[in-house]
Amino acid sequence: MKMVEPKVAFNRCAAFSLIELMAVVFIIALLAAVGVAMYTSATGKKYDVMIRSEMAQIVLAIEAYKEKNGYFPPDDSADPKNNGLFKSLMKPSYEKDLLPNLKPAQYEGPHLVAPAPNPDADNVPNRWRYISLKPKFNTAGFDLSAEYEGPKGRITIGNWKH
């Protein structure tokens, strides 16, 4: 009996097809898009948390100032970013600072600086906005707010209830 050896044709090269390569590129692009979306969302939340935390400390200091003097620290109602909160809440006005844990990055000259990039100009500190003379939102108190550029546009965080 004669054995017949099967003939195997190896015409194909061992390589990926164009469809397989396109599928891999599509999956990588999809994962990159999801990663970028998650990163921008996390960055926005980071600024939100930092601003709210620092705002709580400043609100307590402003309330302590009012308790001691009978009125809120003065403001510049023509330009809420040009306020003298830093000078009002720090020595020599008091025997102790009302903001004792303030770091150099949190103020610039006489101005308190919010912990987020300035949405209006690069390389310019993002000052807190403060109005005590004629507040728009807290009519019996004062308005304190900061802004930053979030993933969906400008975001304002203030000490008022919406």
Q: Residue 131's domain spans which residues?
A: 21-158
Whether this prediction's pTM lies above 0.85 is answered by no
Domain total of the chain: 1
Is residue 14, in this structure, part of any structural domain at all?
no
Is residue 3, in this structure, part of any structural domain at all?
no
Is residue 13, in this structure, part of any structural domain at all?
no
| Separation between Cα atoms, residue 131 and residue 67, nearest integer Å | 18
Q: What is the CATH number of the domain that holds 141?
A: 3.30.700
Question: pLDDT truncated to tens, each residue of the chain (162 aa)?
Answer: 667 666 655 556 677 889 999 999 999 999 999 998 888 777 778 888 888 888 988 888 888 888 888 888 888 767 777 777 777 777 654 556 677 777 777 877 777 888 888 888 777 888 888 888 888 888 888 999 998 887 778 888 898 876
Is residue 46, in this structure, part of any structural domain at all?
yes
CA 19 to chain centre: 42
